[in-house]
Structures are given as structure tokens and as C-alpha cells.
Amino acid sequence: MTPMANADIRGRLERMRHDYGLWLGRECADLSAQAQELGNPILNGAPWEPVRERLHRIAGSAGTFGFQEASEICRLLEHRLERILQTGASGDAGVFLRELDSLPALVKSLTPERLSIADDLLHSPVVARSPEVRESRQPLIFVLDDDATTGQPLCRMLESFHYRTCRFSTGDALERACREQRPDALILDLHLEVEDGLAIGEAVQHLFDEPLPLFVTSRAQAFEDQLRAVRAGVVGIISHPLDPIRLADMLETHLRRHRLPPARVLLVDDDEMMHTYHRLLLEEVGFTVMTLSRPEEILEAMEGFAPDVLVLDVHLPQCSGPELAQIVRYHPRWLQVPIIYLSAALDAGAQLEAMTKAGDDFLTKPIAPEALVAAVTARARRSRELAAALSRDGLTGLLKHADIKARLQAAIAQARRRDASLCLAMLDIDHFKSVNDTHGHLAGDEVIRALANLLRRRLRESDLIGRYGGEEFLLVLNDCESAQAFRVLDELRESFAALTFHGDDRDFQCTLSAGIAVMAPGVAGSDALINLADQNLYRAKQAGRNRVIGARGPGTPR
């Protein structure tokens, strides 16, 4: 982020602080006038509850905008009023009324602190936005392994997943190659015969402004080795014997993490100034944020927005944040979404009670920008990792049947809310039974994995890919018109047909057929869309296979 962008953010936040200061002065004056109308709180307990709520709101928000002293004063007044209403202490009532009456003048005399936003928070987005174009370049992987009996099979395995590889037997050779060309990742043997693989990896990292994803291969899982790997910045350990699926998943996860679509955060807070402030902070570091002030709309918002993290204010109209969290948890689909509570309450007991009711984290207002961003970032990352682990097919690493259908429903709801386009595609490997019968099931599994990897490589991160059946795949292409979908699918068809597989001592090739459906007013719901795509897939099969059929008509092989 440029210094100009930093200045713009600071300027916007400073304007919010100025506007808040004007509001705070008016709010305190209005509170004082309201107190004079209500009279003694001992005699009129019930009407004073809105005053307590307004004091609580100021206590939670004033410090965020630089009015820390006002926040502390209003928190003391709030606690004093609570004690009066609970115990009927008449002596405290007079003190409380005098303090509240002097609040406007006191607030007016305060000099607000300058908003403090750390530079490193503004310089680098936490969640990178995905590019608009598809990634078609084969990633380059450098492998350091001085044992050809392990290094060469590793390279062949990577190449079967359409990576480019270069193997080196010495650290000097690896360093010279890195000076000439930046690879996409490094894989180092942890136990080289002569050199220290980790030390070489750390030395090579210094050649680049941005560190490379660093993996190590290991024949053992000793704690000391894993600790050394952590300290060297290793992102993954590849154990022998090598598992092709785990290897491919690890590489895909780390090579493309910086192109993941922004994590989605749903903020529920009835204080417009606070949720606008928090939304600005989170959006400026790369999150996609939706705000909500009416708790009764939570389930509709969850369905349409599908957040990665839910941030709830503890005190909401109609219900509390923990009560709202429990409503969300009634629905199995949202059990994995982490919930962060925001509150001005300093009572440890209240925090513990809230955490036991469906919560994952608790932040006390005023909240430092770095603390908010760090908490949301950590929870979003963990949420995505857990969701991926539970929803992925074991053979391909793609979404399972039930999960791709559920994600499709959410994608349709979101596309309708945004008035955006959406296409669905059903893919099927032609004559797949004969592949298993002729070349064996291991070769058939390799064909399925190769197509899955090709789909991941060629489609955008914003698209959804699922294994719908044995050799059948379901694609959800977001923000995609029918002509673009047809072009993408036809390119995938050609690329898949060009791959060569090996089985039963023979090389062979495979083709695929695809049917496309476009979300339209006449196609109601996910089942109807799937049925339409399936019908077009059947038409492609009937027309001779190795083709794509959809809104643009049949695509024939060249």
C-alpha cells in the first residue's frame, strides 16, 4: 500500500473521529437534559434503563475514536447507575445526577488523542485479492535431493500433477539456479549426506524480496527435526513414503494461498459509527465485510453472504450477542463459522459466560485496530483450513458431493443478491469404465487426479470445483457469462485430451464431455440448475463425446 493510500486511510479515520466528537457532544448534552426530566432514579427506576444503555454505548465507542477519558467517565457513570437501580442507594443518586449534569462541559474540555494506526497494518493487506485471469502457467519447483532414488521419483510425481521441476544435488547448484530464475517453491531433503538442507534453504531465501514456500522431505518424524523446520520457516513436511495426494494438496494450498478470494466477515452491531469504523479497518486490509444492525436478519444474511467469520456486539437490540450466536449454532451448516464477541464490559464473569455460549473469541472495547485485524485474520484462516479438511474428497482434494451442492446454493443466493451472473458445468470422463478395465484402477485414479489438478490450475479461486460422482465433476463459475463459460470448458477439454497417461505398460489418453447451465429467472434453485447441466452433459455424450454443450451449442473436437 502506497504512502498516499495510507494517508487516505488516516484521513478517513480522522474525519470519522471529528464526526464522532460532534456526536459525542450532542449525545452528552441530550443525556444531561434527559436526566433532568427523569428526576431521581430511585423513584423512577425503569425509565432510566435507556440512559444506562446510552452510557454503555459511549463507554464502548469513545476510546476507539480517541476520547479515552470520556470512555472511562461514562463507564463509571454506567456502573454507578447500575448500582443505584439494583440497590436503591439514595446517597449515590445525588452524586450520579451531579456528575451526569456536568458531563457535557467535561467532554467539551477534553482533547482527543490522535487515532493510532500502525504503519505495518496499512502497508500489507492480510488477505490478498484473487486475480481476474485464470492461472495457466505450470509452477516451477526446485528440488534439492542428493539421492537420485528418492529425488527422481519425487520429480516424476510432481510432473504428473503438471508442475515443472528441476532437481539439484548440491546447495551451490541450487543457489546458482535461484540467482538466474525465481522458482515457485523449494523442496529440500532434510537429511542430505554432506550438507544441511535447512541451512541451504534459509540461505537461498535471502536472494528474494518475498520468501518462497519452503517444504522439506523427511524419512522420520522426530520432534527435533520438526522444531528445526518450524524455526527455518518451513510450511510443510513431506514424509516418506510419499503420498501423491497429500503432496499435491500441500503445494496447491501454499502456492495459491495469496490468490484466495478475500475472507468474508459479517459484522453485527447496532451502533452505526462503530460498525462503519470496524468495516473500514477490515476492508482496507483486504477483507470483504457485510454489516448488519437488525439481529432478526442474521440467518438470511448468513445464507446470502456465507461469512468466514461472524463478529457480534454483545449488546444488541431485541437480544444479546450470545443469544444470537446460539441461534446461528442451531443450524449445522454454520457450526464451523468462528464467532468473535465485541463488548465494552470489563466483567470477567460476563466474558466467560459469553464465551461458553457459542463464542470463540472476546474483544473488549475500545479495540486496537491491530487486535481486531489479528483476531479476525487468525479465525478466518483457521476457519478455511478446517472447512477444507472436512469437506474435501480424499482422492482429488476437491469438494465432496454434499459440500459442492451446499456451496452452490450459497453461490446462487449471493449471485442473486448482487445481480451477478453464474454458470454451472457438469463434466464426465468419457469411457472411464474401460480405463479401469483395460489399465487398472490405479491408472483410473491417476486420470481422475490429473483432471482434478487441471481444474484447480485452470479455474479461478473464486470458482467452485467438486467431485460429484466417481468420474463426474461439478463446476460453479461465479461472475461468468455463458460465452465465457463455454470458452473455458472447451479449453479444459482440449488440455485434458492432450495429457498422456501410463498404465499396464501402455500409454493412453482420455477425453471428457461437459454440459453447461446458466442461472436465469426460469431456472429456480440449485437442483434445477444441476438438472439442466446434466441434460446438456447427456446431449454431449449422445452427440459423440469429447465436446461441450451449453447455451452456445455443441463444441466439437478439432
Residues 6 or more apart whose CB falls under 8 angstroms from that of 114 comprise: 66
3-class secondary-structure state, position 355: helix
3-class secondary-structure state, position 97: helix
Q: Which residues pair with 476 in a beta bridge?
A: 424, 464
Percent of the chain whose predicted confidence (pLDDT) is above 90: 23
Taking 80 as the threshold, does the pLDDT of residue 399 lie above it? Answer: yes
Structure confidence at residue 78 (pLDDT): 84
Taking 60 as the threshold, does the pLDDT of residue 369 lie above it? Answer: yes
307-322 CB burial, b ≥16 within 10 A, e <16: bbbbbbbbbbeeebbb
263 exposed, middle or buried (CB, 10 Å; 0-12, 13-18, 19+)? buried
Taking 90 as the threshold, does the pLDDT of residue 174 lie above it? Answer: yes
Return mean pLDDT, the chain. 81
C-alpha closest to that of 540 among 553, 527, 531, 530: 553
3-class secondary-structure state, position 415: helix
Task: Give the start-end residues of each E strand in 226-384.
Answer: 236-239, 264-268, 288-292, 309-313, 339-343, 361-364
Least confident of 123-132, 162-171, 308-317, 341-350: 123-132
C-alpha closest to that of 427 among 466, 463, 480: 466
Q: Would you state the cell numbers that stand for residue 154, as one nine-digit string? A: 519425487
pLDDT band at 318 (very low <50, low <70, confident <90, very high): confident
> Is residue 395 a contact partner of residue 245, using CB atoms and an 8 Å limit?
yes
Structure confidence at residue 371 (pLDDT): 85
Element housing 359 (H / E): none
Residue by residue, DSSP assigns 201-228 as HHHHHTT-SSPPPEEEEES---HHHHHH
Measured in whole angstroms, the distance separating CA 257 from the mean position of its chain's CA atoms is 10
Structure confidence at residue 428 (pLDDT): 94
Region 259-279: what's the mean pLDDT? 84
Taking 90 as the threshold, does the pLDDT of residue 537 lie above it? Answer: yes
Taking 50 as the threshold, does the pLDDT of residue 129 lie above it? Answer: no
Q: Which residues pair with 309 in a beta bridge?
A: 265
pLDDT band at 554 (very low <50, low <70, confident <90, very high): very low
Give yes or no for a cis peptide into 213 (omega within 30° of 0).
Answer: no
Structure confidence at residue 265 (pLDDT): 94
Taking 80 as the threshold, does the pLDDT of residue 140 lie above it? Answer: yes
Helices (H) and strands (E) in the chain, counts: 21, 17
Give yes or no for a cis peptide into 366 (omega within 30° of 0).
Answer: yes
Residue with the larger pLDDT of the pair 297 and 396:
297
Region 407-419: what's the mean pLDDT? 86
Least confident of 215-224, 308-317, 404-413: 215-224
Q: Would you state the cell numbers that stand for residue 11, as one nine-digit string? A: 484521513
Give the relative orientation of helices 244-255 and 441-458 as an angle to the nearest 10 degrees: 0
Structure confidence at residue 17 (pLDDT): 79
Taking CB atoms within 8 Å and a gap of at least 24, the contacts of 84-93 are 84/41, 84/42, 85/41, 85/45, 85/48, 85/49, 85/52, 88/42, 90/40, 90/42, 93/40, 93/41, 93/42
> For residue range 15-69, what is the model confidence (pLDDT) as tens digits?
887 888 888 888 888 888 887 777 665 555 557 778 888 888 888 788 788 788 8
Q: Report the C-alpha gap between 334 and 300 in whole angstroms.
A: 12
Structure confidence at residue 531 (pLDDT): 92
Strand-strand pairing, 501-503 and 472-478: unpaired
Region 341-366: what's the mean pLDDT? 75
Structure confidence at residue 24 (pLDDT): 85
pLDDT band at 291 (very low <50, low <70, confident <90, very high): very high
Taking 50 as the threshold, does the pLDDT of residue 5 lie above it? Answer: no
Q: Would you state the cell numbers that stand for residue 33, as one nine-digit string? A: 437534559
**Report field, pTM of the whole predicted structure over 0.95:** no
Structure confidence at residue 42 (pLDDT): 56
Q: Report the C-alpha gap between 427 and 475 in whole angstroms.
A: 8
| Residue 534 CA: distances (Å) to CA of 160, 334, 475, 531 | 30, 29, 12, 5
> For residue range 483-527, what is the model confidence (pLDDT) as tens digits?
999 999 999 999 899 888 877 778 899 999 999 999 876 666 888
Q: Which amino acid is at 263?
A: A
Q: Would you state the cell numbers that stand for residue 255, as one nine-digit string? A: 502456492
> Is residue 5 a contact partner of residue 122, using CB atoms and an 8 Å limit?
yes
Q: Would you state the cell numbers that stand for residue 89, as one nine-digit string? A: 442507594
Grid look-up 426530566 returns: 37
pLDDT band at 446 (very low <50, low <70, confident <90, very high): confident
Residue by residue, DSSP assigns 23-76 as HHHHHHHHHHHHHHHH--TTT--GGGHHHHHHHHHHHHHTGGGT-HHHHHHHHH
C-alpha closest to that of 345 among 314, 391, 304: 314
Q: Which amino acid is at 539?
A: R
Structure confidence at residue 492 (pLDDT): 92
Taking 50 as the threshold, does the pLDDT of residue 3 lie above it? Answer: no
